[in-house]
């Protein structure tokens, strides 16, 4: 029963974040991210769009290692893990992406003094 709940929660998160199979979802890249991280990330996107998710996972992990605060690779990593039916890692990286986005929004709003 616990696995069913975890699976349903994962499905909810993936649908809520826009589980788009193409690169059209990845419109904006954090301009503060390192060039190396962006290069690994875009390489991973290319591989994922070609269905080579295991190779894409390696590239997304390198992007994260290069810049741990770059949130987009976490979501892409989640989608690639989902594509290869590894739901535990897909859920983990989806949550990590969400946490980074919330932290970034909070920090951005705090500096602008927006409620």
Instruction: List average pLDDT for each run of 10 residues in the chain, which is 115 residues long.
Output: 64 56 43 82 96 97 92 94 96 92 62 51
Give the pLDDT score at 20. Answer: 44
Give the pLDDT score at 101. Answer: 84
The domain limits of the chain are: 34-115
Give the pLDDT score at 74. Answer: 94
Give the pLDDT score at 5. Answer: 63
The DSSP annotation for the chain comes to -HHHHHHHHHHHHHHHTT--SSGGG-----TTS-HHHHHHHHHHHHHHHTT-HHHHHHHHHHHHHH-TT--HHHHHHHHHHHHTT-HHHHHHHHHHHHHHHHHHHHHHHHHHT--
- The top-level CATH class assigned to 34-115 is mainly alpha
The whole model's pTM is what? Answer: 0.66
């Amino acid at each position: 029963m616990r696995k069913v709940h975890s699976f349903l929660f994962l499905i909810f998160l993936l649908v809520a974040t826009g589980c788009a199979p193409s690169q059209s979802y990845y419109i904006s890249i954090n301009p503060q991210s390192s060039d190396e991280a962006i290069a690994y990330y875009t390489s991973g996107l290319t591989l994922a769009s070609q269905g080579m998710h295991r190779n894409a996972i390696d590239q997304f992990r390198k992007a994260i290692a290069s810049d741990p605060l770059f949130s987009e690779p976490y979501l892409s990593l989640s989608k690639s893990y989902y594509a290869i039916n590894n739901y535990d890692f897909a859920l983990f990286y989806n949550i990590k992406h969400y946490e980074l986005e919330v932290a970034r929004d909070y920090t951005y709003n705090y500096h602008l003094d927006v409620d």
